[in-house]
Structure formats: structure tokens, C-alpha cells
Amino acid sequence: MAKILVVEDDQFLRELYEELLKEEGYEVELASDGEDGLNKMTAGGFDLVLLDIMLPKIDGLEILRRLKEKHPEKPNGPVVLLTNLGQDSIIKEGFNLGASGYLIKSSMNPDQVISEVKVFLSKSSVPQ
């Protein structure tokens, strides 16, 4: 089963995503700030990473920058940015840094989040 890392500083959303993903049978790890997220992503081995852009300590884009310089020990699957920002320049920068997609948190209900996760996992050929 797929292993998913959720890097999100908002406790409510972090716990909501964890609960939703576990109910679908995914293995879930959590990080509540950019430093913890970077450490876990550097260790690697995740089939999918949901990465908030606005994080304490290190923001999501900086995490992607650092991972370009120092590759993870084990490869990670797609990185999907979580944002409430509709700023095209930030999203474009995320894609340039290796993100595979983005989800606008405020406009997605739980079912939509799960369905998007399944789409990204299917593109990376991870067993559902």
C-alpha cells in the first residue's frame, strides 16, 4: 500500500488528511513544519508527498529547492503542493522545482482530496 507524507502546519487539516488517507488504507506520516518535512523527504521512500507551501521554519518551495541540491536517500513519488494561494507565479515556481501538481485547500472537500491523491498515485504506478 502507498506511503504518503503530509507536510502541513495547520493541525486540523493535518489530522483531517491523516484520517481520510488512513481510512483509504494508505500508510501516512506527518510533518508539522518545513524542517521536519525536509528531513523526512530527504530520507525519502514516500509514494506521494502532500506539501504545504506556507510552513514555519522552511517553506514548501525552499524544501523543493534543497531537495534539488541534495537528492533523497530513497526516491519519493510525486510532490503535490497544498496551498490557499492562487498566485500563478508561486505555483509555476513549484512546478519548476519539481512539483507534480497542486491542490487549493480551501476549495476541496474531503472526497475531492482523496480522488486527487488516487489520480497522482496512479500516475506514479504505485499499487492502490
* pLDDT, tens digit (0-9, with 9 covering 90-100), for 16-39: 999 999 999 999 999 999 999 999
CA distance 43 to 52: 18
Query: What pLDDT, on the 0 to 100 scale, is given for residue 1?
Result: 87
β strands within 63-116, DSSP E = 79-83, 101-104
pTM, two decimal places: 0.93
Looking at residue 15, what is its pLDDT? Answer: 95
Lookup: cell for 31: 510533518
Q: So what's the pLDDT on residue 128?
A: 45
3-122: CATH class: alpha beta
pLDDT at 86 (0 to 100): 67
Question: Is the CB of residue 99 less than 8 Å from the CB of residue 80?
Answer: yes
Ranges under pLDDT 50 in the chain:
127-128
Q: Which strands form 48-52's sheet, in the order they lie side by side?
A: 27-31, 3-7, 48-52, 79-83, 101-104
